[in-house]
Amino acid sequence: MTEPSLTRLDPGTPARAAILMLHGGKERSTARVDGRSASWRRAAAMQRSIAGRAHEAGTSVWLLRYRRRGWDGGRGPVEDARWALAEVRRALGDVPVVLLGHSMGARTAVHVADDATVLGVVGLAPWFPPGEPVAALAGRRLVAAHGRRDRITSYRATADFVERARAVASSAELRDMGPVGHYMFKRVASWNEVAVHSALAQL
């Protein structure tokens, strides 16, 4: 696969809104994202788990698969996410969208939140390095959920990012997921609940 792709789960009636899911990745990697990617598979499992609740609210759930696994300066995943937003708009019209990202997906989300259709971002175990820009969140809502035993990304860095985002966002909230790590293997139901509840609340 040389192009990004989308998996969409639609309600039985025309969608009034969309959740666009963005999976995690690595700091540096030019490897293709294929069906064996653990980050993509975790996101796909969450997509299936939250689709029922979303469909009851008339919301479609889309999952982007990036071309490459790495952030590598951000250009690749950001371009792929902007492509995905254009595809959502082409298929569903100008429906409101919430971006739901895990780790690198949350970092990608806060770079493309300035898209006209985006209402807000839900970030799960986000990767927000010190100084990460918050400008694209102007007028948007942010919910960031992070566990305190995360050794891959930093709870403290997420707290700092949320605090800075409050200066521009319409709202910014940090959810403490307790003593859990990065990959959402523990308290799976709680992660799913935070994801779907926060996304639908923004819509």
CATH number of the domain encompassing residue 157: 3.40.50.1820
Q: Packing angle between helix 188-202 and helix 38-56, nearest 10 degrees?
A: 50
| Structural domain span for residue 29 | 5-202
Summarised one tens digit per residue, pLDDT across range 28-77 is 999 999 988 999 999 999 999 999 999 999 999 999 999 999 999 999 99
Summarised one tens digit per residue, pLDDT across range 7-25 is 999 999 999 999 999 999 9
CA angle 132, 184, 163 (to 5 degrees): 30
Q: What is the mean pLDDT of the chain?
A: 97
Q: Grade residue 152 by pLDDT with cuts at 50, 70 and 90.
A: very high
Task: Assess whether pLDDT exceeds 70 at residue 164.
Answer: yes
Element (H, E) at 64: strand 59-65
Summarised one tens digit per residue, pLDDT across range 121-144 is 999 999 999 999 999 999 999 999
The total number of structural domains in the chain stands at: 1
